[in-house]
Structure 1
Amino acid sequence: MTTTEIFLLAMLLIFGAPFLVWRLLRTDYWAPLVVVQIVGGILLGPGVLGAAFPDYYAFVFRADVIAALNGIAWWAVMLFVFVAGLELDLSQAWRQRRETGVTAGLALVVPLLAGAAAAAVMLRFPGWAGPAAAAWQVVLGIGMACAVTALPILVLLMDKLAILRAPLGQRILRYASLDDIAIWGVLALILLDWERVGRQAMFLIGFALVAWAMRRLMRAIDERDRWYALPIWLAACGLAADWAGIHYMVGAFLAGAVLDGHWFDQRRMDEFRDTLLLVLMPVFFLSTGLRTQWDVGGIAVFAAAGLLLVASVGGKLAGVALAGRILGWAKGEALTIGWLLQTKALIMIVFANILLDRQIITSATFTALLLMAVASTMLTVPMVAPRLRRA
């Protein structure tokens, strides 16, 4: 078979297998299609398919095919992170700043500390810290991965639960939006490269100036031209950020965050995000699955994933419960909000991919984090739906 035919065979597996599982097994209640696609990526990776059928795995996912898939995955995740930044709206958060600040702060800090404690336990054993990492980077990176809330997946799940446009849903979006900013700020701190600090300072100063000019340009042109300008702006910001040593995905988030979402038709933006999740992001999930490894042993990876899951979910619920006591919420409200805010999946996977790229964590740590993210996301709807029905 030619490389083109093998590439298309891989694409057939990437899109066909998860869809059939999702539709035939009717997993939507506890595992939306996006979660099934993430799990599918893990199963198609070297730890499962590669171990069970090594010859078939080597035939389909050979180096030139993986290179082509990675190129699609890079652009897909840049677009996804860009849209996440573009859709941030902090105006409501500012108007309700005390409630939003207290809740978002505690919902971030408590699971971060719990995750950092779990990371400290993991570092007592070999195989979890990357070769280029200081201990504080590993601890902070894993802690932040436990504290992440995946805003795009949260929107999808709240829409499924019919609370997205309700007052409760809008409150939760405010909390998650602030945490989304904190994620990228912490990531920039972890990735700070003292050997290239001059480049990074140049990038930040230059980005501020060019972003100001870009905002003026976007106001001056009509919406159709704005859509044409987006991929150019995104590619330039990603290139500049990666050149500075910050990482192209941080550049993609900043590229979206400095623009205003109301400059674009909301319906069209929703359709664009849905199309992105449908036709491009599954390739990123597969490329993520190809990076899963069980080098320190399968049992150890699952044990680490379980420890991280307890730290992540327990820390998030405890932080939101503390916020509820401070702010005088109604009984049971904090538990519902806490379960929704612990949704992870996409953003945590993006975050962990960057840590792996920079050799801050190992493939085994990445695999444990990925399993934790999938499990926490799958818990959300089964835990929240009965509570909403009773309410």
Structure 2
Amino acid sequence: MHAAMSTTEIFLLAMLIIFTIPYLIWRVGKTEYFAPLVVVQIITGILLGPGILGAIFPTYYQFVFNPNVIQLLTGIASWAVMIFVMIAGVELDLSKAWEYRREGSLTAALALGTPLLFGCAAAAVMLTYDGWVGPKGMTWQFILGIGMACAVTALPILILFMEKLDILRQPIGQRILRYASLDDIAIWGVLALILLDWTRVGRQVGFLLAFIVAAYVFRKIMIRLQERDRWYVMFIWLAACGFAADWAGLHFMVGAFLSGAVMDAKWFNQEKMDLLRNHVLLGIMPVFFLSTGLKTNWAVGGWAVFIAAGLLLVASVSGKLVGTQLAGKILQWEKGEASIIGWLLQTKALIMIIFVNILLDKNIITNETFTALLLMAVASTMLTVPMVAPKLQRMQALISKAK
């Protein structure tokens, strides 16, 4: 039967697995409180990867996830993540960030800088052992990459969590979005620095200069278009920016974020943009989660990956909480406020996984480091709602408090 099945049939079998298993786990297990569907999909991707399913059923794994199927899944996953990252760029509200620039910049700097330092320290510890740095990774790239992975806040998942907690449209929710938005810019800036290739620096500088000109022209065109045309042109712009950034050596995800960052959210109906994000998350992002799980590996030596994941989790969570506590003391927040903000800002999942996927693709980290980071991202994200929900119930006055 196996020999008679075409690549298309095996691909559809893989898609059936991708969509069925996590949904059943999520629905039957009723995991929504601590692990929403997107988190379950990430965990399922790990379970379906070579470290677990591939080790237990190697023949079946090699049949379903053969190179041809993996190539198809990777293409879909790349486009899905590009759309998702572009939407994150579109939703950046820099005008609000400027209006509250002192409070916002100070909090964002401490909430990003402190876990970045803690993460860099954890990376330095990992460097004392072999097997964590990729074949093309330099020491500074590895340390900075791990540090930033510990500091990342996943803006799309943060929005989903705040909707679940019913604080997204409240003043505290909007404040947290401003902090996360500023951090989002820093994340992609650091990624561009890590990926800077001195053998192609001329091409990269040329891309950035050309992008500035192209973005100016693009904005002029978009203003003159009707909204129904803007939606289509947006995807043309996304593909062009992704291609140009990848050609320059900055990775297509950098181009995807830049493509969204130069667009104004007011150009589009907010409800339709929310629907687009939700439909992408529902219809094609599960493929990305599966392809991510296929990269997990425990070959470094069993428990070493889990020990590294625990070290990174401590660095990430403690760094974020220490950073927001410092901001709270300086800005004189109420007692308990910094803890709520800190736990929400340490939400990782999507953006962090995208970030470390790029580091893996560029051979800056190994599969083992990627696996440890992925486990850390899942654990930190699953902690968020259980830690924040009881605090919000005790401090209802904070929800409507504006800064």
TM over 0.5: yes
- What is the rounded CA distance, in whole Å, between the counterparts of 1:219 and 1:329 in structure 2? 41
Q: Percent identity among equivalent residues?
A: 71
| Alignment partner, residue 128 of structure 1 | 132
| Alignment partner, residue 245 of structure 1 | 249
Offset, 1:3: 1.3
1:1-391 to structure 2, matched below 5 A, reads: 1-391=5-395
Offset, 1:294: 1.1
Which AA in structure 1 matches 2:199? E
Offset, 1:326: 0.3
- What is the rounded CA distance, in whole Å, between the counterparts of 2:239 and 2:302 in structure 1? 38
SS at 1:297 equivalent: coil
Which AA in structure 2 matches 1:387? K
Which AA in structure 1 matches 2:253? M
Which AA in structure 1 matches 2:225? I
Measured against aligned partners, the alpha-carbon deviations of 1:158-210 in whole angstroms (never above 9, x if no partner) come to 00000000111000000000000000000000000000001001100100000
Offset, 1:295: 1.8
Which AA in structure 1 matches 2:37? L
- How many residue pairs match? The answer is 391
Which AA in structure 2 matches 1:301? V
Which AA in structure 2 matches 1:75? W
SS at 1:27 equivalent: coil
Measured against aligned partners, the alpha-carbon deviations of 1:34-53 in whole angstroms (never above 9, x if no partner) come to 00000011111111100010
Offset, 1:91: 1.0
Measured against aligned partners, the alpha-carbon deviations of 1:318-370 in whole angstroms (never above 9, x if no partner) come to 00000000000000100011000000000000000000011100000000000
SS at 1:285 equivalent: helix
Which AA in structure 2 matches 1:371? L
Which AA in structure 1 matches 2:194? I
Moved beyond 6 Å, runs of 4+:
none
- What is the rounded CA distance, in whole Å, between the counterparts of 2:112 and 2:65 in structure 1? 38
Measured against aligned partners, the alpha-carbon deviations of 1:197-246 in whole angstroms (never above 9, x if no partner) come to 01001100100000000000000010000011011111110000000000
Offset, 1:384: 0.3
Unaligned runs of 5+ in 1: none
Unaligned runs of 5+ in 2: 396-403
- What is the rounded CA distance, in whole Å, between the counterparts of 1:298 and 1:94 in structure 2? 48
Measured against aligned partners, the alpha-carbon deviations of 1:280-334 in whole angstroms (never above 9, x if no partner) come to 1000000101111112122000000000000000000000000000000000100
Output the aligned Cα RMSD: 0.5
- What is the rounded CA distance, in whole Å, between the counterparts of 1:86 and 1:98 in structure 2? 23
- What is the rounded CA distance, in whole Å, between the counterparts of 1:95 and 1:235 in structure 2? 32
Task: Tell me the TM-score normalised to structure 2 length.
Answer: 0.97
- What is the rounded CA distance, in whole Å, between the counterparts of 2:266 and 2:158 in structure 1? 20
| Alignment partner, residue 401 of structure 2 | none
